[in-house]
Amino acid sequence: MTHRARVLTVSDGVAAGVREDRSGAVLVEALTAAGLQVDEHRVVPDGTESVAAALLAMTSGFAGLVVTTGGTGFAPRDLTPEGTRQVIEREAPGLAEAMRLVSPLGRLSRGIAGTRGGALVLNVPGSPSGAAECLAAVLDVLPHALALLHDEPTSH
């Protein structure tokens, strides 16, 4: 089964059109290369409410993976985890921990992972390399996680 995916770029600069969305493009490319069907890529400015509203819309009735990029650090407007917590129903801390272990800078990420209905949400950093590395750290287990979430047969 081909799983569906969506990408949410969280960035004041990208939303204002003054910065290129390099991390979102990297994620779309990596997800597509991994065999997922990316059917949406949207951009919102930083902030708890903007992230929560976008994630509510993107996960409503959706069965698949939603990856956010940006807003996971320590800057005052880095509020993606806070917005994500308003939306998810269950956290998946093992995925967030695995993504933090990929590099020394990963320890600075406040990103979380969790589920809402049939959607699995992952927060990755806003840098293109950080986004790619964090996604790569969990990509191998995502098909199994999505199968479990969708109550599909698995090998376990």
**Domain range annotation of the chain:** 4-149
How confident is the prediction for the chain on average, in pLDDT? 96
Per-residue pLDDT of 105-142, as tens digits, reads: 999 999 999 999 999 999 999 999 999 999 999 999 99
4-149, what's its fold? Molybdenum Cofactor Biosythetic Enzyme; Chain A (3.40.980)
What one-character-per-residue DSSP string does the chain give? -PPEEEEEEE-HHHHTTSS--HHHHHHHHHHHHTT-EEEEEEEE-SSHHHHHHHHHHHHTT--EEEEEES--SSSTT--HHHHHHTT-SEE-HHHHHHHHTTSGGGGG----EEEETTEEEEEE-SSHHHHHHHHHHHTTTHHHHHHHHTT-----
- pLDDT of residue 82 exceeding 70, the answer is yes
